[in-house]
A = this chain, B = another copy of it.
Amino acid sequence: MKTEVRLSGSGGQGMILAGIILAEAAGVYDGKNVVQTQSYGVEARGGASRAEVIISDEEIVFPEITRPDILLAMNQASVDKFLDSLKEEGVLILDSTQVKNLPVLKSRFYQVPITELAHKAGGGIVANIVALGALIGLTGVASERSLREAVLARVPKGTEELNRRALNLGLDGAKEILGK
């Protein structure tokens, strides 16, 4: 069982921190094998930066993602750039506050108002944490409990309550979509 996740957004949307938190939730707290990667350079430019996480029950031999199982797209450039890379049966999660030109429907395709929920939590800066809550709630790729531990271990001191609200709003958004 192996799941490849690509987190994409603009430079300021905190996708690298999101990647590290997801990796630590699955790797440190859930005890899976995880490789977390970010790339910089020519191909990384153009309004869509990304962080990648491979989560596996087995040892990870080839640590590069070619076609993700899960794509989080936090802005339009990310949808435009990375949608084609998603596996046929993959899951697309997009920030419906930011992405206005919706792609052709994929088999599993979720719209979550991530930025709007972040402002409700207390500020756009926690959009990445809302996104992680939504992603875990929708896909179960790490446990909710591990995600909580990983978030609180990584966010700056003094911002725990803000981040807890953001995480809960993301998780609740997922539950609403799934009708739980």
Partner-B contacts on A (CB < 8 A): 16, 20, 23-24, 26-28, 31-44, 59-60, 62-64, 156
A35–B38 alpha-carbon span in the complex (Å) = 6
Q: List 27 A-B contacts (CB under 8 A).
A: A16-B20, A23-B38, A26-B40, A27-B39, A27-B44, A31-B41, A32-B40, A33-B40, A33-B41, A33-B42, A34-B39, A34-B40, A34-B41, A35-B38, A35-B39, A35-B40, A36-B37, A36-B40, A39-B60, A39-B63, A41-B60, A42-B59, A62-B64, A63-B63, A63-B64, A64-B64, A156-B156
Q: Which residue of B lies closest to A16 (CB)?
A: B20
Contact among B20, B26, B41, B59 for A27, CB-based, below 8 A: B41
By a CB distance below 8 angstroms, the chain B residues around A28 are 40
Closest CB of chain B to A26's CB: distance in Å?
Answer: 7
Q: Which residue of B lies closest to A38 (CB)?
A: B36
Closest CB of chain B to A50's CB: distance in Å?
Answer: 12
A60–B62 alpha-carbon span in the complex (Å) = 14
Q: Which of A33, A40, A41 has the most CB of B within 10 A?
A: A40
Q: Which residue of B lies closest to A157 (CB)?
A: B156
By a CB distance below 8 angstroms, the chain B residues around A63 are 37, 39, 63-64
Closest CB of chain B to A133's CB: distance in Å?
Answer: 20
Q: Which residue of B lies closest to A154 (CB)?
A: B16
Query: Beyond the given A27-B41, A28-B40, could you list 19 further A-B residue pairs with CB under 8 A, ordered by the A residue number?
Result: A20-B38, A23-B40, A24-B40, A27-B39, A27-B40, A31-B41, A32-B41, A33-B39, A33-B41, A33-B42, A34-B40, A35-B37, A36-B37, A36-B40, A39-B60, A39-B63, A41-B59, A42-B59, A43-B59
